[in-house]
Amino acid sequence: MFSDERFSGLTKRDIRQDLVAGVTVGIVAMPLGMAFAIASGVKPEYGLYTTVIAGILVAIFGGSKYQIAGPTGAFIPILLAIVLEHGYENLLIAGFLAGIMLVLMGIFKLGGLIKYIPRSVTIGFTSGIAVIIFSGQIGDFLGIEGLEKKQYFHENMIQLAQNITSINMFSVLTAIVGLLMIIFIPRFFPRVPVLLIALVVPTVIAVLFYPGKVATIGTVFGGIPQTLPTFSFPKITLEKIMLLWQSAFVIAMLGGIESLLSAVVSDGMTGTRHRSNRELVGQGIANIVTPLFGGIPATGAIARTATNIKAGGVSPLSGIFQGVFVLITLLLFAPYASNIPLAAMAPILMVVAYNMSEIKSFSHILKLKTADSLVLATTFLLTVFVNLTTAVQFGLLLAAISFIKRMSEVLEVEKVHPYWAKDDYNSNGTKQARYGTRCPRISFFTVAGPLFFGAADKFESILTQSINKRPNVIILKMKYVSFLDATGAENLRSLVNDFKNNIGGTILLSEVNKDVLEFMKVSGLYHEIGAENFFSESKYAVDYGLQLIEREKCLKCSRTNSKSCAVFTHSSEMDEQQIS
């Protein structure tokens, strides 16, 4: 472990700083771990087990020096949906599968691909998650007991409205005290562990002044066991894999996105650089091991990672110390956690939801009234009213369609009138003016943009119109074609063959860039068109095209004897070396 460069060069002072940072983060992580577990529909101790195991494993195997891993708010909707639909045991299997997917993503170096997920999609589902978390705490905030967690947002809201008369004012008072402390303590005492204080003070008030009047961890979950988590391998079958793989994939994607985003934030705060693929492997290992001890899926936590850095953490040891501190606290003080009111945990999660909602970014993208706005709104609404899995799938699909549409509009096929290429001089030695060749027997197009499956139809449609006018030669200047895919190549192949077989014409290509030309050679298109029909400069293609014109048709042309036709007297003298 200590051969890792992230641990190299540590001094005793660094280790002391890591110890202080680890304890500081542990104090923050404990209430969050319990709160996220409860919101996900599982017992609070499972959140603590995740904080311990994932925190230590990511610190050891991850790719960032400062990353703090554990349960996060982003997972709440998908984990709750799995628990409600398939049960806690299957949640462990989904987390285990997600861990394997993350390891594979790291091994195959897919860490860089996650950054290509559109911001409209990530903001959409993040804001949707925030709404679900916030609304899910209203019942505990108001002290309404007997509410069953439902899979769909509207079902929970209807149930809440039906029981709104059952408000417990003691719970409301407890929640308000906690909320005020979360808001005001950081302003006056920024170094105080506000989340821990926001749990302890309302708990003490409830125990001293109105004992037994509010729902607590003990009354709802039976308390937190004062023992180490036990090892148990989940019963994985092919049937369960087929049932849970989509949910596992969403967990892996969310875990990958949030952990790498957290690593990027830590890089910005410290001036370091993380290793994205190694980070995915570390997250994967943590999510493979954590379910074996009853823990829920984990990822890098931005707020806790930032706290680690601000507290003076200098190496992954701080993440290890954080896990050890939480474990020791669990073993020593677990019985006292039974007295924590659920109403005291509600404002913590509400504030977490508000902080992750990205209201400003959401409003900004929505006001743009573009395709991004549609993607954002669709992802957000599906996250809230259906589920996160569906939201991510449809969001990415809409974003892909929008991207393809925009890229197809980038392609331009413009008909131009090229100039005669060969320099000539008058008898007095001055250069003769070049003529614009407007010969109806030649069509010259400049093609610009990516020629791919989304733009191939537009390309084919424009050139087909020109072919219908039955020219002898079509010249395509492809200097600005940045990309060619199989569909674009097939459409070009079809045009070349149709033009040759049905009309007897020839298509010439000029100034094809290196990558596109290489693809044409690999696909066989280069040889079908013919090496003799490729030109390094457009002027050579024009000169060669003029040679291919059926001269006898010129006598019947309405443009006979125009300046363009004067080119023929020169093109017959063209040096063969001009053809590349």
CA angle 238, 243, 249 (to 5 degrees): 100
Give the containing element (helix H, strand E) for 535: strand 534-535
What would the mean pLDDT of 527-549 be, rounded to a whole number? 90
| Domain coordinates in residue numbering, the chain | 13-400, 412-578
pLDDT at 550: 63
Q: What is the structure's pLDDT at 555?
A: 55
* Unique residue bearing structure tokens 């009853």: 294
pLDDT at 431 over 70: no
Q: Tens digit of pLDDT for each residue in 131-162?
A: 999 999 999 999 999 898 888 999 999 999 99
CA-CA-CA-CA torsion sign (549, 554, 559, 562):
positive
Predicted confidence at residue 408, as pLDDT, reads 84
CA–CA dist 382, 390 (Å, integer): 7
Contact 22, 320 (CB under 8 A): yes
* pLDDT tens digits for range 343-389: 999 999 999 999 998 899 999 999 999 999 999 999 999 999 998 88
**Confidence (pLDDT) at 416:** 76
**210 Cβ contact partners less than 8 Å away, ≥ 6 residues apart:** 170
| C-alpha to C-alpha distances, 94 to 235, 289, 291, 445, 475, nearest whole angstrom | 12, 12, 9, 55, 57
Q: How far apart are CA 362 and CA 426, in angstroms?
A: 68
pLDDT over 60 at 566, yes or no: no
**Average pLDDT for the chain:** 88
Model pLDDT, residue 437: 53
Which of 283, 248, 262, 260 lies closest to 356 in space, CA to CA?
262
Task: Return d(Cα 459, Cα 142) in angstroms, integer.
Answer: 62
pLDDT number for residue 576? 32
**pLDDT value at 14 more than 80:** yes
When mean pLDDT is compared across 163-172, 228-237, 430-439, the lowest value belongs to 430-439
Average pLDDT over residues 400-415: 87
User: Do 318 and 56 contact (CB within 8 A), yes or no?
Assistant: no
Residue 438: what pLDDT?
A: 61
Kind and range of the H or E element at 448?
A: strand 442-448
User: Of residues 557 and 449, which shows the higher confidence score?
Assistant: 449
User: What pLDDT sits at residue 265?
Assistant: 87
Question: What are the beta bridge partners of residue 443?
Answer: 474
Strand residue runs (E) in 464-525: 473-480, 506-510
Question: According to the model, what pLDDT value does residue 179 have?
Answer: 96
Q: What are phi and psi of 298, to 5 degrees?
A: -135, 165
Q: How confident is the model at residue 60 (pLDDT cuts 50, 70, 90)?
A: very high
pLDDT (tens digit, 9 = 90+) per residue, 110-131?
887 777 889 999 999 999 999 9
Residue 151's pLDDT is what?
Answer: 84
- In this predicted structure, what is the pLDDT of residue 279? 95
The answer on pLDDT for 491 being more than 70 is yes
AA identity, residue 482: S
Provide the percentage of residues in the chain whose pLDDT is more than 90: 69
12 has a pLDDT exceeding 70: yes
Is it the case that residue 76 has pLDDT exceeding 70?
yes
Tell me: pLDDT of 414 over 90. Answer: no
**Does residue 426 have a pLDDT over 90?**
no
- Could you tell me what percent of the chain has a pLDDT over 70? 90
Task: Name all contacts of 81-88 with Cβ < 8 Å and 24+ positions apart.
Answer: 81/151, 81/247, 81/387, 81/388, 81/389, 82/244, 82/247, 83/40, 83/41, 83/42, 84/41, 84/149, 84/150, 84/151, 85/151, 86/243, 86/244, 88/41, 88/42
pLDDT on residue 553? 61
- Distance, in Å, from the CA atom of 53 to the CA atom of 320, rounded to the nearest integer, reads 9
Average pLDDT over residues 273-287: 95
Assign domain 412-578 to its CATH architecture: 2-Layer Sandwich (3.30)
